[in-house]
């Protein structure tokens, strides 16, 4: 059976040792995650992460670097996720904006506070991305700047 992961993006942004996270309801359970979501058809990875952060937190996100690409298989349901995580800064918060469906609120939490909430993290990718950020991992944005789901599938089809 071929691997068909959900392609997602996530934003890791830090201010004064605290990371922006969302508290969201997933199947009647409250969990913590970076602002993250699925890439829409025709949307670049950078466009997707900027959109997702705005929808989920009401902040404007400016990507500065890519942290990495992470493939994770959820042991509970067998679904795979391919996450492209970015780091950058937020600004221009719109407190009047309604947050995306399922998002209860946002928090600025330290790594230690995230570890305390580990049973409530959406996936192990939350801490992995924070740890990669803290270790200084950074990749240039131009390596994925124009990659979208359409061109990725076109490139793959041509190379086969």
pLDDT in tens, 31-74: 999 999 999 988 899 999 999 999 999 999 999 999 999 999 98
Domain boundaries, the chain: 6-159
d(CA 67, CA 36): 14
Residue 104 has pLDDT above 90, yes or no: yes
- Return the DSSP state at 142: G
Do residues 36 and 51 touch, judged by C-beta distance below 8 A? no
Distance, C-alpha 66 to centroid of its chain: 11
Number of residues written out for the chain: 160
Give me the pLDDT at residue 155, please.
41
Dist. CA 87–CA 130, nearest whole Å: 10
pTM over 0.85: yes
As a whole number, the mean pLDDT across the chain is 90
Cα angle 98, 104, 110; round to 5: 115
If one compares 55 and 142, the residue with the highest pLDDT of the two is 55
The CATH number of 6-159 is 3.90.79.10
Q: What is the helix (H) or strand (E) element at residue 52, kind and residue range?
A: helix 45-57
């Amino acid at each position: 059976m071929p691997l068909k992961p959900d392609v997602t993006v996530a934003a890791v942004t830090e201010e004064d040792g605290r990371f922006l996270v969302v508290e969201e309801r997933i199947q009647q359970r409250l969990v913590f995650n970076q602002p993250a979501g699925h890439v829409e058809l025709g949307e670049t990875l950078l466009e997707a992460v900027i959109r997702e952060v705005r929808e989920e937190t009401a902040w404007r996100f400016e990507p500065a670097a890519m942290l990495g690409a992470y493939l994770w298989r959820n042991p509970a349901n067998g679904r795979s996720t391919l996450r492209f995580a970015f780091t950058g800064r937020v600004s221009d918060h719109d407190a009047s904006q309604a947050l995306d469906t399922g998002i209860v609120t946002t928090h600025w939490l330290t790594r230690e506070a995230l570890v305390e909430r580990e049973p409530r993290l959406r996936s192990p990718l939350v801490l992995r991305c924070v740890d990669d950020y803290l270790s200084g991992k950074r990749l240039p944005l131009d390596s994925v700047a124009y990659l979208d789901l359409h061109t990725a599938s076109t490139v793959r089809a041509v190379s086969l």
